[in-house]
Chains A and B, each alone.
Chain A
Amino acid sequence: MSAAVALGALSRTRRERRMRAASTTGILAAAGVALSITALAVGSVAIAPADVIAALAGTADGGEQFIVRELRLPRLTLALVVGAALGMAGALLQSVVRNPLASPDIVGVTGGASAAAVLAIGAGATGLAVSGSALVGATVAIVLVLAASGRKLGGTRIVVVGIAVAFLAQGVLGYALTRARLEQAGTAYFWLVGSVGSPSAPETLVLGMLVAVVAIGTVLGRGALAAQLLGDETATAVGSRPRRTRILAVTASTVLAAVSVAVAGPLAFVAFVAGPIARRLRGGGPAVLTAALVGAVLVLASDLVAQNLIPGTLQPPAGLVTGAVGAPLLVWLLIRAARQEGRA
């Protein structure tokens, strides 16, 4: 009798989860497509959606085709790729250390990457050297954070340690910015906000390939990631290898965060908020791929808002929106989570 009841409940929740996964993915994808078409259509020259499709297909007239395919499409692609990378970087780290506060932008990874990149820019580096430098900075930061947090990853220690590292990175950044020439410093400040306004095809391609690799890895390792949420002992008990999962996930998260910082600058809080939003939409679990979709939608929407809705001649970068909207959103999420925890 009661076993049958439980079985019914289980199969019902399983169906509901699938439905929820499908509907979440569908809604996010639809939002992404709609925003993408908008991004291609609006700007200093407005293009009708039908003409956008035609331009993409290569059947529109030369001017429109150039605007859509050469000007707007690269920017759009970069926004999507960077957003996906940041979303996955955040969700991965949050999952494996079992702490929703522990995203790369909070625990100093983004800060380390930024400081190292600005140091490199100040020293005259460009392109790949900046990316490499950002990767070094991010790696130093995450290694420092993990080493200093010790074994107790599940607690909030990693967060406070991470913020200490983030403020340390800010000190280094301050050093780099005061030593640079003024116009370099100005460029660096702009870059530090985070922007998808100057896409380069090879950079986008590299980041896109990284996103694809990690996405595939996440699909293959989704059981291990889900087990990780139960704690190391339980994960081991259900046949997972938590240590290996953690190393892989932290590495993937760090590389994604570092390269996106190098390519687009630290778009504040995208990595932090994408995970919680994705988990909320999905109703739990690691939700790494959903976080990628959320991140992509967030960056794209932010860039659209920054380009079109903020008045003035100066075109503010997307990071302004993620920073200004993300900070309050982050705080709200924190308070809400704290209250729920208090009620439970």
Chain B
Amino acid sequence: MTATAPASVTLSPDAPGAAAPALRAENLTLGYTKVRPVVHGVDLAVRPGALTVLVGANASGKSTLLRGLARLLPAHAGRITLDGNPIERIAARQLARMIGVLPQNPIAPEGITAGELVARGRYPHQPIFRGRSSDDDAVVAASLAATDAASLTERRMDELSGGQRQRVWIAMALAQQPRILLLDEPTSALDVAHQVEVLDVLRAEVDRGTTVVVVLHDLTLAARYADELVVLCDGRIVAQGAASEVLTEATVRDAFGIDARILTDPDTGRPVVLPRASSLGSSAVVSQERMQ
């Protein structure tokens, strides 16, 4: 399974099949202000060793939920547990060795190379005042290889394409050797080829035994890659399960407010979401009115 990484280094400490850690949200309420929570009392048991995709309309709370799971946002109510332990009781450094986070819009400092950036993912493993060891270098190299970014190691981040940059950022999260990887819209602002590139990397990570939770916009790509699809609407989970079961016309109408036809991809058997022509009708009415 570690075909792309040097044989001596495993990115995920657990061999595939070993008990993966269990991340759970229980009755979780989250928000940016106390008065208006964005996520309301959500229960979610992240399936260990699987690729979970969170989808939902804008402002449905999917990114907020992910930020909550990543401990970037404190819970107003409820709690998040890792293997049964509330995560706020786990030391920040220790947690960083178990959960890797790639938020939206991370900042690449001016002039930094891909290798230097990924090396910063080793910080949770390094005692203070100790520099980078050769072990660290091995993990960094393996992480870059795992995201197919080894050839970019000495390139500067500002010279890379959007897809390349995103793969380097994922490599940085992998260098933490996390057992769970949380990513907030890693494919936004990428063209379709680069989106597939990034999702293939995540798929490979899951195959290696890592648990991945990712927020995506594109329903069809989400359906294609998800082991578990979680649909959010107004801060609540409205459907959860295998994509073919979850993505029904009714769910899409309820969660996204459009009429859509659900087809089946003949290659993969996964659902494909196709908005119906008539659901664009409202704007046609507007333009007709303007003509009068």
Contacts and interface: CB of A to CB of B under 8 A. Distances in A.
**Direct A/B contact, Cβ within 8 angstroms:** yes
Interface of A: 1-2
A175 B290 CA distance: 69
Contacts of A1: 289, 292
A2 B292 CA distance: 9
Contacts of B289: 1-2
Nearest to A1: B292
* Leading 4 A-B pairs by shortest Cβ distance: A2-B290, A1-B292, A2-B289, A1-B289
Interface in B152-206: none
B211 to A, nearest CB: 35
Contacts of B290: 2
A61 B289 CA distance: 76
Contacts of B292: 1
A2 B289 CA distance: 9
A58 to B, nearest CB: 64
A1 B291 CA distance: 10
4 contacts: A1-B289, A1-B292, A2-B289, A2-B290
Nearest to B290: A2
A1 B289 CA distance: 9
Contacts of A2: 289-290
Nearest to B292: A1
Nearest to B289: A2
A194 B187 CA distance: 57
A82 B292 CA distance: 57
A1 B290 CA distance: 9
Interface string B280-292: 0000000001101
Interface string B255-292: 00000000000000000000000000000000001101
A331 to B, nearest CB: 24
A153 to B, nearest CB: 24
B283 to A, nearest CB: 15
A220 to B, nearest CB: 40
B195 to A, nearest CB: 29
B171 to A, nearest CB: 32
B134 to A, nearest CB: 44
Interface string B92-132: 00000000000000000000000000000000000000000
B87 to A, nearest CB: 30
A1 B286 CA distance: 13
A2 B286 CA distance: 11
B234 to A, nearest CB: 22
B288 to A, nearest CB: 12
A1 B292 CA distance: 8
A193 B72 CA distance: 48
A223 to B, nearest CB: 31
A176 to B, nearest CB: 39
A2 B287 CA distance: 12
A1 to B, nearest CB: 7
A254 B90 CA distance: 61
B109 to A, nearest CB: 20
B59 to A, nearest CB: 15
A11 to B, nearest CB: 21
B251 to A, nearest CB: 33
B32 to A, nearest CB: 13
